[in-house]
Amino acid sequence: MAEQSTSEQEREIPTIQKWIAVLWPSFLVAGVETIVFFTLFDPEYVFAEYEVSRTGAYSIGFFLFWAFAILPCLLTMYFAKPCKPCASTRDGKG
């Protein structure tokens, strides 16, 4: 019964909310990370070997931060999936 209701509830979470839960927090964190990182480190020095403008470095940096922040969000979604109760608890023995 419990299992059914959680999976039902999960099904009822709109897809849009799932997308947002992954893309949006990571976007916010990436924004903050970009500001802090590039305030401390001037891309002119950090990426001196690459032919990239500062604006380009900020932009690439932002999307890298975003990509890296998407990973933990996806993992959180994955681990937030309801677990099946083990056989003993389900049968009321535990």
Residue 56 interacts with another protein (CB under 8 A)? yes
One-letter identity of residue 19: W
The yes or no reply on residue 54 touching another protein (CB under 8 A) is: yes
CB 43 within 8 A of CB 61: yes
Q: Please answer whether residues 37 and 58 qualify as being in contact, where contact means their C-beta atoms are separated by less than 8 angstroms.
A: no
* Contact status: 9 vs another protein (CB under 8 A): yes
Residues 6+ apart with CB under 8 A from 37: 61, 65
Measured from the CB atom, the residue of 80 and 87 that comes closer to another protein is 80
Of the candidates 2, 3, 7, 20, which one interacts with another protein according to CB under 8 A?
20
The count of residues interacting with another protein (CB under 8 A) is 19
Considering the complex, state which of residue 53 and residue 89 has its C-beta at the smaller distance from another protein.
53
Q: CB under 8 Å to 34, separation ≥6 — which residues? A: 58, 61, 62, 65
Q: Is 3 in the site for another protein (CB under 8 A)?
A: no
**Distance from chain centroid for Cα 9:** 22
Give the binding site for another protein (CB under 8 A): 9, 12-14, 16-17, 20-21, 24, 35, 39-40, 42, 53-56, 58-59
